[in-house]
């Protein structure tokens, strides 16, 4: 649009301008976690944790370190030398294992560092958060009564639909 000389944050528009409301520069080394792949939902016990890593940079991505935490507790970082990923390609990587328990909500955070062994040129897209993850059903649960797992059948069904089932599940209904 002629007459528009600055972008949304006051930077001078290029000629021709970048598409959209903001001028931007792509960087050579830029990686990020784009999704959590597994476990969704986790089974109670030890699960392999996997994420998708994406190359946002203009240079082929050959290595990256993935940091991660569960409920604010940092886990061992995972460093990989991967097959080259071209710009905007992604791959799934197993970053480690974690033991999930029934009845606990988990907040998982993943981030990338050192794409191709150097500082990431755009840290704004490095991090992915997954909040309120719960372990799926598996085992025996009680319904009704003072010490029951669930007060009603309806409450048990709602929770089961939200969390999923991971193995044999039995509901014992108290009188």
Are the C-beta atoms of residues 108 and 68 closer than 8 Å to each other? yes
Exposed, middle or buried: residue 4 (CB in 10 Å: 0-12, 13-18, 19+)? exposed
Find all residues with CB under 8 Å of 15, minimum gap 6, and list them.
Answer: none
Would you state the structure tokens that stand for residue 132, as one six-digit string? Answer: 């309120």
**Statement: the pTM of the whole predicted model exceeds 0.95:** no
Would you state the structure tokens that stand for residue 51, as one six-digit string? Answer: 């994420």
5-56 pLDDT, tens digit per residue, is: 676 677 776 566 665 666 666 789 999 999 999 998 898 899 999 999 999 9
Give me the pLDDT at residue 24, please. 63
CA atoms of 172 and 111, how far apart (whole Å): 42
């Amino acid at each position: 649009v002629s007459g528009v000389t600055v972008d949304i944050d006051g930077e001078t528009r290029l000629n021709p301008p970048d598409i959209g409301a903001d001028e931007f520069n792509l960087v050579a080394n830029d990686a990020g976690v784009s999704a959590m792949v597994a476990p969704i939902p986790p089974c109670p016990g030890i699960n392999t944790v996997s994420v998708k890593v994406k190359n946002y940079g203009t240079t082929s991505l050959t290595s990256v370190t993935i940091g991660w935490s569960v409920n604010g507790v940092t886990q061992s970082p995972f460093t990989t030398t991967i097959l080259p990923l071209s710009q905007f390609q992604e791959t799934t990587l197993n970053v480690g294992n974690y033991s999930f328990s029934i009845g606990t909500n988990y907040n998982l955070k993943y981030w990338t560092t050192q794409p191709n062994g150097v500082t990431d040129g755009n840290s704004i897209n490095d991090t992915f958060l997954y909040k309120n993850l719960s372990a799926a059903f598996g085992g025996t649960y009680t319904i009704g009564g003072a010490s029951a797992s669930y007060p009603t059948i309806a409450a048990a069904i709602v929770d089961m639909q939200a969390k999923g089932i991971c193995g044999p599940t039995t509901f014992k209904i108290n009188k």
